[in-house]
Amino acid sequence: MDSNRETDPENRVPEGVDEKTLRALGALSKALETTERARGHLYGFHQVTGTADFELGDAVRLLREAGHEEQAARVERDIVGRNVIPGRWTFQIIEAYDSTYHRPFTAMEGDIVDELAGGREHLLEARLKTIRRTHGHPDHAATPPAS
């Protein structure tokens, strides 16, 4: 089957891109997408940990209201605002991940897609769309409707 038949022009596999290269680019893209998921988990970790820290403030207040000043002071001194790893809060973990891993990976993936596929992204998925869709079905159109 011609994988370029009825495909958006920007998603057509460029001349000279062989099957192995197409699969390699697909694997590279999938790996990058997986780092996006990891990054999302880091943001979730960041937000949930921040929420817990504010909830600790409520616990400190309630301990004080219940007459437990010593326990409230311990929680406030030793846990509220504490680093989650030595010297870092969660936002700093995200910043380190971004600068050390995510941005360099994103840049490299973009460079390789530019070098090997003329900057055309998601070629493997575009080919799968062409193969898997029901040709002629209105909800399986190859391209968006003309405006």
Token code pair at residue 28: 């590279």
* Separation of alpha carbons 20 and 85, rounded Å: 42
3-state secondary structure of 135: coil
The model's pTM is 0.82
Instruction: Compute CA distances 75 → 51, 62, 95, 127, whole Å.
Output: 16, 12, 27, 57
Of 138 and 56, the structure prediction assigns the larger pLDDT to 56
pLDDT of residue 35: 97
Q: pLDDT band for 64, please (50, 70, 90 cuts).
A: very high
The yes-or-no verdict on residue 57 having pLDDT over 60 is yes
Share of the chain above pLDDT 90, in %: 70
